[in-house]
A and B are shown apart, each in its own frame.
Chain A
Amino acid sequence: MVREEIEVEVAGLKLTPQKALIMDETAVISDLHLGIEQSMAGTIPRLQIKEIIASVLNLVELYGVKELVVAGDMKNEFSRNMPYEWDDVEEFITKVSETVRIRVLRGNHDNYLATILSKHEIALENYLKLGDWVVVHGHVDVDNLEMAGSDTTRFIIGHEHPSVKVRTGFTTYSFPCFLRATKPEKEVIVLPAFSTMVSGSDIISSESFLSHLLRDFDENEIHIYAVEDRVYYLGKLGDLRKIAGVLDEVQY
């Protein structure tokens, strides 16, 4: 039986329905927001950690991953380490590092993450190189990062929580998505948020992106790959915006 293709290959990288990007034996995920249950508005019960660990382990097994890169915002709270975050980050690292090496990049939410990571001898890095790609979270202007060999033109980032919001009838659906922004002198791939609890930001209706890395792209230079049971290529942002978010009746 032929296995149906559920991933999409883009510029030698694999975009998977598990919201991960795979290159050889390395998987990149972003925006886990561990501990988000505690820092929103007071505290709600812990909900996502088990599911997150399970999906990472599933991903590792499925693609034979040897190295897992968390491209920022591993945890949620900016200002300090909340008790949930300690628990969740600990649990995550303990369980996941049994099967795979973990590397963690700094996101805008990760100010105090280093304290937790250092116990496990994991460094909190600002960026890392993956082939001729540079992986960063995307919140800091890359010119401000002291990067070895600053001639890089290809980036993999998180930070945006991109999603596609559509409505059919009177129900609204939001699908997390990858973005690929490309022009001759630069290329950026944006990962969807790995956490299902954070609400995505609708790329069809929002006016601009957060990351400066995306600001000089035209809407026709940005391609969209939505995630559900598999990865769906939805064409250019400009085209998607023309169709708008109102989907005609779904035919049966």
Chain B
Amino acid sequence: MKSAGVIEGKEYEDSEIENLLHPVVREWFKSKFNSFTPPQKYAIVEAFKGNNVLISSPTGSGKTLAAFLASINMLIELAEKNQLEDRVYTLYVSPLKALNNDIRKNLEEPLREIYELAERKGIKLQKIRIGVRTGDTDQKERQKQTRKPPHIFITTPETLSIILVSPKLSQSIRKIRFLIVDEIHAVAENKRGTHLSLSVERLQRIQESDMVRIGLSATISPLEEVAKFLVGFENGKERRCVIADVSFSKPIDIKVISPVQDFFRESSESISEKLYQTLVELIKSSKTTLIFTNTRSATERVVYNLKKRLGKDFPIKAHHSSLSKNVRLEVEDELKNGDLRCVVSSTSLELGIDIGYIDLVILLGSPKSINRALQRIGRSGHRLHEVSIGRVVVVDHDDLVECTVLTNEALNRRLDRIKIPEKPLDVLCQHVVGMAIEKRWAVDEALELIRSSYPYRRLTREEFLSVLRYLAGHSDFEKKRVYGKIWFDDAEGTFGRRGKLVRPIYYLNTGTIPDEVAVKVITTDGKRVGKVEEEFAERLVKGDVFVLAGRTFRFLRSRGMNLIVEEVEGEKPTVPSWFSEQLPLSFDLALRIQRFRGEIDRILNSKLLEFEDAVFYLRKNYNLERSSAEAIIRYFLEQNLFSYIPTDDRFVVENFQDNGSECYVFHSLVGRRANSAISRVAAWRAGVMKNCNVKIAINDNGFLLKLPKRKKLSYSEILDLLSPEHFRDNLISALDRTEILRRRFRHVAVRSLMVLRNYLGREKSVWRQQLNADSLLRLIKKNFGIEFPVLRETYREIMEDSMDLENAISFLERLKNMDLRIIRIPYPSPFALNIFVLGEEDVVLMEDRKKIIKSLYEKITRMIELREMSK
């Protein structure tokens, strides 16, 4: 995907860089460092030349200075000549609020040293101001910044979009020399990144001189696409960008560790015991260990269990996003000061917060993506030339297979490709309102600006007009157009702001992260046990059993905004906790696991090889311990005995009965996101064929459809379930009345400013409590059709971002050339076991509301009759 605009960078000599520096800056640098680091060698000269540059490199490689040195040098030169004006020269944007203060400190220190050096040399310098502005910045500081704009301005994507419409401050950002966008890898794949990319193009529009864009990213692929995302387009042509790819300069050492010999032959207690024993040994043998789990609840559980074994005085702590900011800062400080021996984190320590010296990173369970594995392991051995050491401790058989492949891929530096969301209309709505506040626009002028943002390069004029019409409230019965946030003259092709309230609405509602409103959970004797998300609480009905903080509770009744519960130990939860949002396996990694299965299958089916040979092969090629290699081979042998091994060219469907229900396990192995799309369509089609509800369980390796008694699927029916024809339409039908549709619709409605989460100081979640989401969806569909921007984006987000429609369809296309095996077995095969024990996750409904109320009616009637009879 190389293109004219993206250029591979080159490494410059130290002397070439030094020659560009102001003498004081040069002297300061030489007194501090021996040489420039690789990212600095690639990036600094380009920045001086005024070229856009994307730097991809690991943490601890001097990235910050690589991005800022040209900027510092420029400011020092101006300061010496007494030419510093009261405006912003360098704008730094990072998605991590927590990082902003660190960056300030990291800049203040060199500046102080440079000033001291200058003073010793008798050089007088104007003062260079650095300012941080986020949602947390207080009024006084904000006013100060407006009066005397900082020369280096540090902010977040959300605050940037607000500054753009601020009447005064926006005047100070019209001649920016350097725009630095940090942690691009953390936003490119989500709507925060889309939002930022539009803000950057709006910023570009008001520039009166050349603005250089510098992007910083951790390991990510494909870099060309991320570069285009950073720089966008100008007059329909890609802007130029130099790529400084130094991501692989840091050596790594990764190994898979299996805590037990054979997961099938040990009880879960003993697996858990051995797992913690393994962790304890690893922690004791290193100075500071960072453990990554994948979920917040697992983080707490691991800390609790490790403390039990290491003693309560052992310095170990948890760090995750549900902890309060103060607690997190405290943990980070203790880490930096070397006071902790171990920290357990979910994802919160993945990103670039400076965490000091870590000599071992443990990944507990698969991190589900190669990029994430590298990012996490890169947190150890902070300095550039130190080896990063990572140990992947696996928790079951599938995890062992997955991590074996993942480790191998990571060592070979084969990354998974990211996917940038395509033209989300909800984010666009926010920006159109923002743009309208700035000035009056001609449609074509606005469309060109929007298309210069990479995610919107393919936005059609019709799509844009539909957004304008929606925002302006053009609809049949919108006589007064009171809900319009903009005015739009369709005939003249112009639009602009409407009313005075639009500005505060924009200020309070900009951003893409959905609100999480918490509901308190209280026991009957008044004890608080924790909080659940409001959306989760809404789904509960009396009698439901759910898990919270590792304990099981039954929902009894609600009191105001609180849930009253009783603890019920050992009862099976009736509500899945899919709000815990497990990380999905990347599609690329899934394909590599498919291939791995094929590889092992061929070895096992080659008559010449013995068990020992296969073990040897694995140990040699996948760097495995003997016990792990044996466990994998045994796992595959058992599957082979019982059923077939699904591979990259053999698709296996297994059918068995569970309490009479017909279960079908599809070993698709395309990652959870694509599986989610395929399974829902298959379930919907099965429901139509058999006129029944179909339950679904999905994981990364495949999915299960559960049909009622005697609802058997024939070979040709199974083929029909997997046809790529009409896939998208069927998926839309399958989403009807599902929780995911309601949930995503709410988020999109808020993001599109259809519902305001914050309106004139009102409480955020009021509308949720009072409006019926199903009715709202139904009425919108009825009145405006499915092309209404808010609905359209809801479906797009579900199908493309939450699920993976594209890869689902391409897999089904490929399936036509695969060997399809449908096998009937007495109970789940070893490979199917993890999918089976998941339990149902969702259900695709064929029956209507009538059936539900009828069956409740019959149940009640029976109960009353029985009582009458017993009298």
Which chain A residues have a beta carbon within 8 Å of chain B's beta carbons?
A: 36-38, 40-51, 82-84, 87, 164-175, 196-200, 202, 204-207, 226, 228-229, 232-235, 239-241, 243-248, 250-252
* Assembly CA distance A203 to B832 (angstroms): 41
Number of residues in B with C-beta < 8 Å to the partner?
A: 76
- Of A45, A204, A239, the residue contacting B473 (CB under 8 A) is A45
Interchain CB contact under 8 A, A41 and B762: yes
* Assembly CA distance A173 to B734 (angstroms): 17
Known: A204-B542, A245-B541. A45 touches B483 (CB 8 A): yes
Interchain CB contact under 8 A, A244 and B842: no
Interchain CB contact under 8 A, B754 and A44: yes
- B759 on the interface (CB 8 Å rule)? yes
Chain A residues in 8 Å Cβ range of B708: 252
Docked complex: B835-851 residues within 8 A CB-CB of A: 840-843, 845, 847, 849-851
* Assembly CA distance A165 to B762 (angstroms): 28
| CB-CB nearest 10 A-B residue pairs | A245-B541, A244-B543, A43-B483, A42-B756, A169-B843, A47-B779, A199-B772, A42-B759, A40-B767, A205-B542
Interchain CB contact under 8 A, A232 and B842: no
Chain A residues in 8 Å Cβ range of B738: 171
Q: How far is the CB of B624 from chain A (nearest CB, A)?
A: 39
Closest to A200 in B: B772
- B480 on the interface (CB 8 Å rule)? yes
Q: How far is the CB of B97 from chain A (nearest CB, A)?
A: 25
- Of B770, B775, B849, B856, the residue contacting A196 (CB under 8 A) is B775
* Assembly CA distance A167 to B769 (angstroms): 19
Additional 12 contacts, C-beta under 8 A, given A171-B843, A199-B772: A41-B759, A45-B754, A45-B783, A48-B779, A170-B576, A175-B853, A196-B775, A204-B541, A226-B853, A228-B849, A232-B857, A235-B864
Interchain CB contact under 8 A, A234 and B558: no
Chain A residues in 8 Å Cβ range of B505: 42
- B574 on the interface (CB 8 Å rule)? yes
Chain B residues in 8 Å Cβ range of A44: 483, 749, 754-755, 776
Chain A residues in 8 Å Cβ range of B574: 246
- B609 on the interface (CB 8 Å rule)? no
A sample of 24 cross-chain residue pairs with beta-carbon separation below 8 angstroms, ordered by A number, consists of: A40-B766, A40-B767, A40-B770, A40-B771, A44-B754, A47-B776, A47-B779, A51-B782, A84-B480, A165-B541, A170-B575, A170-B842, A172-B538, A199-B769, A199-B771, A207-B558, A232-B857, A235-B863, A235-B864, A246-B541, A247-B856, A250-B851, A250-B855, A252-B708
Interchain CB contact under 8 A, A229 and B850: yes
Chain B residues in 8 Å Cβ range of A168: 852, 855
- B2 on the interface (CB 8 Å rule)? no
Docked complex: B545-561 residues within 8 A CB-CB of A: 555-559
- B539 on the interface (CB 8 Å rule)? yes
Interchain CB contact under 8 A, B863 and A232: no
Interchain CB contact under 8 A, A169 and B840: yes
Interchain CB contact under 8 A, A234 and B860: yes
* Assembly CA distance A64 to B95 (angstroms): 63
Chain A residues in 8 Å Cβ range of B478: 45-46
Interchain CB contact under 8 A, B770 and A198: yes
- B626 on the interface (CB 8 Å rule)? no
Closest to B788 in A: A45
* Assembly CA distance A42 to B750 (angstroms): 11
Interchain CB contact under 8 A, B772 and A196: yes
- Of B480, B851, B860, the residue contacting A240 (CB under 8 A) is B860
- B37 on the interface (CB 8 Å rule)? no
Closest to B863 in A: A239
Known: A46-B477, A234-B860. A206 touches B850 (CB 8 A): no
Chain A residues in 8 Å Cβ range of B458: none
Closest to B851 in A: A250
Chain B residues in 8 Å Cβ range of A206: 557-558
Docked complex: B732-766 residues within 8 A CB-CB of A: 737-739, 749, 753-757, 759, 762, 766
- B780 on the interface (CB 8 Å rule)? yes
Known: A41-B766, A229-B850, A251-B855. A170 touches B840 (CB 8 A): yes
Please report whether the interface of chain B is mostly helix, strand, loop or mixed according to DSSP: mixed
Q: How far is the CB of A187 from chain B (nearest CB, A)?
A: 21
Chain B residues in 8 Å Cβ range of A175: 849, 853
- B423 on the interface (CB 8 Å rule)? no
Which chain B residues have a beta carbon within 8 Å of chain A's beta carbons?
A: 473, 475, 477-480, 482-483, 505, 538-544, 555-559, 564, 574-576, 691-693, 695, 708, 737-739, 749, 753-757, 759, 762, 766-767, 769-773, 775-776, 778-780, 782-784, 840-843, 845, 847, 849-857, 859-861, 863-864
Interchain CB contact under 8 A, A241 and B775: no
- Of B557, B775, B863, the residue contacting A205 (CB under 8 A) is B557
* Assembly CA distance A235 to B858 (angstroms): 11
Known: A175-B849, A204-B541. A199 touches B770 (CB 8 A): yes
Interchain CB contact under 8 A, B544 and A246: yes
Chain A residues in 8 Å Cβ range of B855: 168, 247, 250-251
* Assembly CA distance A246 to B739 (angstroms): 17
- Residue among B540, B762, B847 with the most chain A CB within 10 A? B540
- Of A36, A83, A247, A250, the residue contacting B771 (CB under 8 A) is A36
Chain A residues in 8 Å Cβ range of B695: 169
- Residue among A170, A174, A206 with the most chain B CB within 10 A? A170
Interchain CB contact under 8 A, B776 and A197: yes
Interchain CB contact under 8 A, A250 and B852: yes
Closest to B473 in A: A45
Closest to B774 in A: A174
Interchain CB contact under 8 A, B757 and A47: no
Chain B residues in 8 Å Cβ range of A41: 755-757, 759, 762, 766-767
Chain A residues in 8 Å Cβ range of B859: 243, 247-248
Closest to B772 in A: A199
Interchain CB contact under 8 A, A42 and B772: no
Interchain CB contact under 8 A, A207 and B557: yes
Chain A residues in 8 Å Cβ range of B739: 170-171
Q: How far is the CB of B646 from chain A (nearest CB, A)?
A: 27
Chain A residues in 8 Å Cβ range of B840: 169-170
Interchain CB contact under 8 A, B541 and A197: no
- Of A170, A173, A240, A246, the residue contacting B849 (CB under 8 A) is A173
* Assembly CA distance A224 to B717 (angstroms): 44
* Assembly CA distance A239 to B544 (angstroms): 17
Chain B residues in 8 Å Cβ range of A243: 856, 859-860, 863
Chain B residues in 8 Å Cβ range of A244: 541-543
Chain B residues in 8 Å Cβ range of A171: 737-739, 843, 845
Interchain CB contact under 8 A, A246 and B543: yes
Q: How far is the CB of A231 from chain B (nearest CB, A)?
A: 10
Known: A43-B482, A251-B855. A169 touches B759 (CB 8 A): no
Q: How far is the CB of B871 from chain A (nearest CB, A)?
A: 15
Interchain CB contact under 8 A, A250 and B847: yes
Known: A170-B739, A196-B775. A245 touches B544 (CB 8 A): yes
Chain A residues in 8 Å Cβ range of B849: 173, 175, 228
* Assembly CA distance A117 to B772 (angstroms): 28
Closest to B842 in A: A170
Chain A residues in 8 Å Cβ range of B755: 40-42, 44
* Assembly CA distance A154 to B739 (angstroms): 41
Interchain CB contact under 8 A, B783 and A47: yes
Q: How far is the CB of B867 from chain A (nearest CB, A)?
A: 9
Interchain CB contact under 8 A, B771 and A197: yes
Interchain CB contact under 8 A, A228 and B853: yes
- Of B480, B559, B842, B851, the residue contacting A207 (CB under 8 A) is B559
* Assembly CA distance A36 to B144 (angstroms): 42
Interchain CB contact under 8 A, A205 and B558: yes
Closest to B481 in A: A83
Chain A residues in 8 Å Cβ range of B769: 199
